[in-house]
Amino acid sequence: MNAPLTAAPDTASRDRLGRPLRDLRISITDRCNFRCVYCMPKETFGKDYQFLERSALLSFEEITRVAQLFTRLGVEKIRITGGEPLVRRNVEKLIEQLAAIPGLDLTLTTNGSLLAKKAQALRAAGLKRITVSLDSLDDAVFKAMNDVDFPVAKVIEGIDAAAAAGLAPVKINMVVKRGLNEHSILPMARFFRERGHILRFIEYMDVGASNGWRMDDVVSAREIVDTISREMPLEPADANYTGEVAERWRYKDGRGEIGVIASVTQAFCRDCTRARISTEGQLYTCLFATSGHDLRGLIRGGASDDEIIARIGSVWSAREDRYSEIRGKNTIPLKKIEMSYIGG
Ligand code: SAM
Ligand code: SF4
Ligand code: SF4
């Protein structure tokens, strides 16, 4: 359990397309206090929706054990996500356990609604940086998107609290959906450039089976960059590392940068080094996978660390996912997993 952070020989953790296992996203709850129209639309996630029982969720100890084992296979970065991770009770306890894993780059994605209350505790638990999702500065637009009448001001309060607590950098994620919030692109860019936070625009994706995705609703990364560049000229910046999801652009006047995540129009599967663990401990090798591999059963069945590592290693070495590259080529899986379950 407490083995040091030493990656297994590189060849041991490469998939069929030669991609190493470097990043892990862990969904710690399938619940959320928002009903974003592109993620958990009310028509599907209504009052009667059956979320997972508590006993089905991986416990903090189970999550920490799995995280440690993944680091032994080469994982360097873990993102905690959901659902909304901050609605899971005592989440800071989990952060404390994960932050104790040597050499691990740990981060978390949140809708920001509870951040004003939790930022200090998360920082004290050892979290160093954070990503906050916010789709507009216009209250009417944001409320139409989160669909629970949640005001922008409270998310901004959370972002400020995170910065004040020393979580740095604070990155902001904005999903752009045509007809809903493309007019918010420029105000968001201006605002976060002033504040010194990195804003990342995400193309609206066809995750899950409930958001009614259509290609026409996607505002392309190209269009987003052009929109901003007309007012505040941008130039491409080098990636920080291979496999970075966001393409970086910096303002030509030297005052900050943005990112664009072009998962639809410029698929980046060939550099995809990410695995995901669902709320109930299923391992997925792609955001668009239709089935997972049961790690919880192994853990609760008493498997040893080596047995679990061997299982993860064999799943990874058989991996050949590249959904975004082949999207639209008549190979779309019929039963995709919802993002709130698999972890965004
Ligand atoms: N609840 C947290 C939040 O909203 O930040 C974490 C989970 S959420 C599923 C993770 C990220 O996925 C968010 O930034 C969200 O905007 C993004 N997301 C959700 N559905 C999406 C979609 N259909 N297309 C693109 N991004 C999406
Ligand atoms: Fe909740 Fe995040 Fe999905 Fe919005 S994007 S419904 S905040 S999980
Ligand atoms: Fe990775 Fe799958 Fe997304 Fe491609 S579609 S970048 S393989 S998660």
Q: Do 40 and 47 form a contact (C-beta atoms < 8 A)?
A: no
Q: Is 110 in the pocket of ligand 1 (CB under 6 A)?
A: yes
Residue 35 pLDDT:
98
Best mutation site among 35, 39, 142 for ligand 1 pocket (most ligand atoms within 8 Å of CB): 39
Q: Does domain 23-342 have CATH number 1.10.287.110?
A: no
Residue 5 pLDDT:
44
* Domain boundary assignment for the chain: 23-342
Residue 235 C-alpha to ligand 2 middle, in angstroms?
31
Residue 120 pLDDT:
98
Q: Is 322 in the pocket of ligand 3 (CB under 6 A)?
A: yes
Best mutation site among 45, 109, 211 for ligand 1 pocket (most ligand atoms within 8 Å of CB): 109
Q: Is 295 in the pocket of ligand 3 (CB under 6 A)?
A: no
Residue 239 C-alpha to ligand 2 middle, in angstroms?
27
The residue contributing the CA closest to ligand 2 atom 8 is 83
Which of 297, 291, 286 has the alpha carbon at shortest distance from 319? 286
Residue 333 pLDDT:
52
pLDDT, mean of each 10-residue run, the chain (344 residues): 44 85 97 96 95 97 98 97 98 98 97 98 98 98 98 98 97 97 98 96 88 91 98 93 86 96 91 96 94 97 98 97 79 67 78
Residue 307 C-alpha to ligand 1 middle, in angstroms?
33
Residue 8 pLDDT:
45
Residue 334 pLDDT:
54
Q: Is 321 in the pocket of ligand 3 (CB under 6 A)?
A: yes
The region, left, alpha or beta by phi > 0 then psi within -120 to 50, assigned to residue 298 is: alpha
Ligand 1 nearest atom to the CA of residue 174, by list position: 16
Ligand 2 nearest atom to the CA of residue 111, by list position: 7
Residue 271 C-alpha to ligand 3 middle, in angstroms?
9
Residue 70 pLDDT:
97
Residue 2 pLDDT:
41
Residue 12 pLDDT:
52
Residue 194 C-alpha to ligand 3 middle, in angstroms?
33
Three-state SS string across the chain, please? CCCCCCCCCHHHHECCCCCECCEEEEECCCCCCCCCCCCCCCCCCCCCCCCCCHHHCCCHHHHHHHHHHHHHCCCCEEEEECCCHHHCCCHHHHHHHHHCCCCCEEEEEECCCCHHHHHHHHHHCCCCCEEEECCCCCHHHHHHHHCCCCCHHHHHHHHHHHHHHCCCCEEEEEEEECCCCHHHHHHHHHHHHHHCCEEEEEECCCCCCCCCCCHHHECCHHHHHHHHHHHCCEEECCCCCCCCCCEEEEECCCCCEEEEECCCCCCCHHHCCEEEECCCCEEECCCCCCCCEEHHHHHHCCCCHHHHHHHHHHHHHCCCCCHHHHCCCCCCCCCCCCHHHHCC
